[in-house]
A and B are shown apart, each in its own frame.
Chain A
Amino acid sequence: MAAIELAGVTKRYGDVTALHDLDLQVQSGEIYGFLGPNGAGKSTTIDILLDFVRPTSGTATVLGHDAHDESLAIRQRIGVLPEGFHVYERLTARQHLEFAIESKDADDDVEALLERVGIPEAADRKAGGFSKGMQQRLALAIALVGDPDLLILDEPSTGLDPNGAREMREIITEEAARGATIFFSSHILEQVEAVCDRVGILQQGELVAQDTIRGLREAAGTGATLTVTVKALTPDIVEAVEDVPGVTSVDTDRDVLTVSADDASKTDILDAIEAAGGEVVDFATREASLDDVFAAYTNDRDEEVSA
């Protein structure tokens, strides 16, 4: 069953189209990374799931409930870390959590939740005095109240230091292991790459790609890059490498070959070099990062737009 299903969702604000005919499915139990540059429409999508915003057309379904008509039933079963939220400055961390626990009719232990997000010492301090990172941790604790079936996290690592971001990822993984579906948006690719089963890339209100990280890499044609240094580079060697199946391009710089390949094996390339009389001094491989994938998609689109 799909935990989140958007079908043909369009949202217009006056003349501005924030989302254009968006179709998106998040399967139950998966960790789905929702990527896109700022202003791509990620927060609008999440606002529609939470019924903060109503789509101009199309339907949104969360956990089998209509996002607008049955929003209360949805919010009973999900945990949300909103973006651009503001704590109640005069209430303590404990009062925030007690309010969330009471609201959801849950029975969580406040101390345990604060311990889990790493701010047990702040239980009785007013949240108005918290740093951005502590507010973010408090918001995560609120999202975790009631063991939700679905966690919707909007830019969860905002304001967190690298250590905090890592702890956030650990909690996401733990929640997924418990059986929860995780839907989180980010513009930081490493975050998504480290934990996500599947990724969708949103660009100017449209989903330009949706796949596993591996699938995205393959689809974008940015596979591995192999850099080989040979003792003496000859045109024969270059030709031999170009003939290896799966190799997409070969660049040369003095005695260094830079080979891009979709799925050609490293050994095939090295064998071809040696068969052509080349002596390999050094080699290194680099897998395309999600950055490359992301750039490939977003640049493609820019070209389409300008063309």
Chain B
Amino acid sequence: MSWPAIARKDFHDAARSKALWALTALFVLFMAGVAYVYTLLQSGGQGGGELETIGLIFFLLSPVTLLIPLTALVMSHKAIAGEVESGSAKFLLSLPHTRRDAIVGKVVGRGAVLGVSVVVGLVVAAVVTVALYDSFDALAFLGFSALTVLLAVLYTAIGVGLSATTQDSGRATIVAAAFFVVFEVAWGAVVSGVYYLLNGTFGPMSAGSVPDWYLLLNRVPPSSAFTNAVFQFLPGQSTLVAQLFPQNPPIYLSKWAALATMFAWLVVVPALGYYVFERADL
């Protein structure tokens, strides 16, 4: 269990590379910027609509699910492949570290870099909200922040895990891009394709005829699990699931299932990467 040493080294490395500072600046500008822009939209559009934290969170949701996966993958997709390709893995693995420690250490180190940047951005956004908004729902904002940090860390874990499946950093980039395209861009098409094969149409005709598996499949991608977790944990948003199941949704469509899906991603892809990396000749 020597991953803390690797995580610390990786964190120092990133801090020195200015990646930490660049990311922090990015998230501060983004989160605080959106929080401010939202005040302009609200006062401009409806003329005196209530400026509420929940509104901001749902306004943030869509850009967050684009920005965080992208920055996390960019930062982590060469974590293992790059080290093996360059030869610094020869240092790392000639010291008493297992390959599992290398993967866990990288996930923790780089997850911490991204996590710190995101937290700083969220704190500044919270300050803007407290200053400019009519009310500040601390609990909702905290919940949203926790899920956002989890999304950042799980996408870092995905990037590191994918990176462990290859020893060529060019191929690592392709694998990470393919993952993003399949799960974040084209997933809707995948689900529609499955529906077409089963029913001959590309989607349910009415809300009443939506099968459970269709809802479930739509919740599989990491960002989708995150979005559903935010919707279902925070009050005030009426999701399709909530409309269909006014009492209690089945367990696999519950908020806890969404959270569990996020944790599953955090573990499954690094485990897959470990499986390949452990058997590889370096």
Report yes or no: A87 in contact with B88, Cβ–Cβ below 8 A.
yes
Contact for B90 among A78, A85, A100, CB less than 8 A:
A85
How many residues on B have C-beta within 8 angstroms of the other chain's C-beta atoms? 21
- Whether, in the assembled complex, A95 has its beta carbon less than 8 Å from a beta carbon of chain B, the answer is yes
Contacts of A13 in B (CB 8 A): 281
How far does the alpha carbon of A99 sit from the alpha carbon of B92 in the complex, in Å? 9
Contact residues of B: prevailing secondary structure: helix
Residues 96-110 (chain A) with a chain B CB within 8 angstroms: 96, 99-100, 102-104
Chain B hits for A90, CB < 8 A: 13, 16-17
Asked if A285 is at the interface (CB within 8 A of a chain B CB), the reply is no
**B177 CB → nearest A CB, Å:** 25
Report chain A residues within 8 Å CB of B86. Answer: 86
Q: How far is the CA of A47 from the CA of B90 in the complex (A)?
A: 9
A interface size (C-beta, 8 A): 30
Decide if A84 touches B94 in the complex (CB within 8 Å): no
Are A85 and B93 neighbours in the complex by a CB distance under 8 Å? no
* B1-55 residues at the A interface, CB under 8 angstroms: 2, 5, 8-9, 12-13, 16-17
- CA A245 to CA B96, docked complex, whole Å: 57
Are the C-beta atoms of B16 and A91 separated by less than 8 Å?
yes
**A99 CB contacts on chain B under 8 angstroms:** 5, 9, 95
Determine whether the beta carbon of A95 is less than 8 Å from that of B12.
yes
Distance between Cα atoms of A96 and B5 in the complex (Å): 11
Question: A91 — which chain B residues lie within 8 A by C-beta?
Answer: 9, 12-13, 16
B96 adjacent to A95 (CB under 8 Å): no
- B9 nearest in chain A by CB position: A99
Instruction: Tell me whether B281 and A88 are in contact (CB under 8 A).
Output: no
Expressed in whole angstroms, the Cα–Cα distance for A102 and B2 within the complex equals: 9
CA gap between A82 and B98 in the complex, in Å: 17
Nearest CB on A from B167, distance (A): 11
A75 at the interface (CB under 8 A from B): yes
Q: Across the interface, which residues of B come within 8 angstroms of A96, CB to CB?
A: 91
Taking a contact as CB atoms closer than 8 A, the residue among B16, B87, B90, B95 that contacts A103 in the complex is: B95
A72 touches B9 (CB 8 A): no
CA distance A125 to B207 in the complex (A): 64
With A and B bound together, what is the CA distance between A104 and B5 in angstroms?
Answer: 10
Compute how far the CA of A295 lies from the CA of B87 in the bound complex, rounded to whole angstroms.
Answer: 32
* A139 CB contacts on chain B under 8 angstroms: 91
Minimum distance in angstroms from B100 CB to a CB of chain A = 10
**Given A53-B282, A90-B13, A90-B16; A85-B91 close (CB under 8 Å):** yes
Known contacts A53-B282, A90-B17, A95-B12, A85 near B88 by CB under 8 Å: yes
Of the candidates A47, A72, A84, A102, the one whose C-beta lies within 8 Å of that of B87 is: A84
